[in-house]
Amino acid sequence: MARKSVISFITRWLVCSLGLWIAASILSNDISLSNKALDIIIAGLVLAVINLILKPILVILSLPAIVLSLGLFMIIVNGFTVYIVSKLYHPLHITNFWAAVFAGMVIGLVNYLVTTILDSRTHQ
């Protein structure tokens, strides 16, 4: 069980790193993240840890807004977590909150695609 949790966390970490790299490539005017692999991997680690620890608390606190918006407020929650990472890890610089929201959308899309691909491979 613990091994599965570790593998799951490492997968999320790598997916967060990939998503941040793609978002930084798309929004190069609003998001600056050096192309050094180490900076991208560390930023992904910080995001994965924030998502593991802080995101569940944010979801519970914003549950009324999430329900009223039929789940669309999760986009704001995801953006907020990316924005927090940019404040904690200085090699990742995001110019404004809306760029962080867009980066959160990109990371969520990458996460969805990777999860779908991995799930389809495990069910074959």
pLDDT per position in the chain (124 positions), as tens?
Answer: 688 889 889 999 999 999 999 999 998 888 888 768 899 999 999 999 999 999 999 999 999 999 999 999 999 999 999 999 999 999 999 999 999 999 999 999 999 999 888 888 776 6
Using alpha carbons, list the distances in angstroms from residue 100 to 3, 7, 95.
32, 27, 8
Domain boundary assignment for the chain: 14-122
For residue 96, the number of C-alpha atoms closer than 13 Å in the C-beta half-sphere is 5
Place of tokens 């793609």: 22
Distance CA 62, CA 105 (A): 18
Residues 49-67 pLDDT 10s: 999 999 999 999 999 999 9
CB-CB contact of 81 with 58 (8 Å) = yes
